[in-house]
Structure 1
C-alpha cells in the first residue's frame, strides 16, 4: 500500500489553481525529491497531506486514511518557515514534542543536538536562523513516523552542515517509512534520493527513480531539472 497517494487532486486559492488534478503515489522505504519551480504546488501538496488544507476536488490518502486524526499520528511535517515559539528553550521544545507526539524519540533528538553543539538551555530567539532550522529538523526527524514531509529542509543551513543534515535524514527514518522533501538545492540532496517527482503548475510532469534518470537519460537529476525548467 502506498504511504501517500493522490488522485485528481485539486486545490484553489481564489482564482489561482495551486493543484490541478495532481495524481501520484509514494511507496514506503523511499526518499523522494518533490521538485519544481516556485508556485508549482509543492508546499500546497505537503499541507494537504498534513491536513492543514482541505482539497477542493480529488482524493488524497495517507497510510490508507484521508488526512485527519489517524494520519496525524504517522506524519512528521517540517514547514518551510520556522513554526516553533521563539521564547522556548530547546529542552522545553523537546518536552513539548514528547508530550504531543507518542513516537518522539528523546534520546535520538539529544544525540543530534549534541553533535551540532546546540545548547539545550538556549532559547530559540537567541539562535541564528540556520540554527533554528536545524533544531526544527532534528525535532521532526526524531519522531518514529511513517511519512516525513520536509519543505526546504536545508534551505537556510550553511553548506558545512548540509551533509550532516542529509545524513541525519537517512539515518533517522524507518526503512518502512517514506521521506518526501522539497528543495531547490538539488545537487546537494541528489545523493540521498531514491526517486524524484517533477511538478509544474500543479500537475505531475513525471515520476522516476534516480537510477532510471541516470541510465536512460545519461544525466544527473540536477542537469535534468535545469533542462526541463529552463527559462
Structure 2
C-alpha cells in the first residue's frame, strides 16, 4: 500500500527526518511512536503530499504521491484546519465538497457520538471538542489510508475510548491506518505494528506481537527503554 525509501527532510540546518525507510500493508494499524520533535509529523506530512522530501521517495500503491493518492488518503493534522466562521454542519459540507468518499451519514453519527452539536461554531470549541471534530471529519471518509497525527491529545479518558472505537470501525482488510502518538498505553491494545522514531530515524520497527515476544517486554516498556 505505502512505501517510503530513504526519506530525508531538512529545514535549513535542521534534519527533521533522517533516512527513514518504511512500508505499510493493507489491513493493518501502525503506530508511529516517539516524543514531540522526533519526526512523526514531518513524515506524515510528506506521505500526505503536503511537504516535499529533501531526498528519498514515497510511493502509494506503486505510484508517486500526488493528486490521485490524495483522493485515497485521509490525513488529520495536529493543527486546526477549519475556518472560524464554520459550524460543525459547515465542516461536513466543506468535506463533502472536497472528498468524493465523504459519508454524510457517518459524519452525523460520529458528531453525535463525540457529543458535538451541528450548530456549534468551530472557533468556540474547546481544544478537546475541536480534536473530536477533526476526528469525526477524517473518519467519515471511506479512505484507503488513514493518518491520524496525535488524535488523543487533549482528550479525556472516556472520549479516548470513543475515538479508539471509531478508529477500529474504519479498520478494514483493504484499508491501512497510521496513528502517531506518545500515549503508547492507549494504543498498544489495538495496533498491529509499532514504529519507534527517534531524532528523525527509525530505531525499532516490527510486528507488535513479535516485538513483545523477542524483547520480553510490552510496547510501553520498550517505549520507556528507548526514550528514557
Provide the residue aligned with 2:205 in structure 1.
Answer: 207
CA distance in 1, matches of 2:75, 2:212: 30
Counterpart contact for 1:7–1:58, Cα < 8 Å: yes
Alignment map for 1:35-184 (pairs within 5 Å): 35-184=33-182
The CA distance in 2 between the partners of 1:174 and 1:76, in whole Å, is 14
| Offset at residue 81 of structure 1 (A) | 1.8
Question: Residue by residue, what CA displacement relative to the aligned partner does 1:86-115 show, whole Å, maximum 9, x if unpaired?
Answer: 220111110111111000011111111112
Unaligned 5+ segments in structure 1 are: none
Partners of 1:224 and 1:127 lie apart in 2 by 36
- What's the offset of the Cα at 1:212? 1.0
Distance 1:107 1:204 in 2: 39
> Which of 188, 192, 195 pairs up with 2:193?
195
Which shifted more, 139-148 or 120-129? 120-129
Aligned to 2:2: 4
Residue 118 of structure 1: CA displacement? 1.1
TM-score of the pair, normalised by structure 2:
0.96
Partner Cα separation in structure 1 for residue 9 and residue 102 of structure 2:
31
Q: Are residues 1:17 and 2:15 paired?
A: yes
TM norm structure 1 = 0.95
Shift of 1:126: 2.2
Structure 2: how far apart are the matches of 1:127 and 1:40? 29
Query: Would you say the 8 A contact 2:110–2:140 is kept in 1?
Result: no
SS of the residue corresponding to residue 73 of structure 1 reads: helix
Provide the C-alpha distance between the structure 2 equivalents of 1:110 and 1:37, rounded to a whole number of angstroms: 33
Alignment length, in residue pairs? 228
1:8 Cα deviation (Å)? 1.0
What is the alpha-carbon root mean square deviation over aligned residues? 1.1
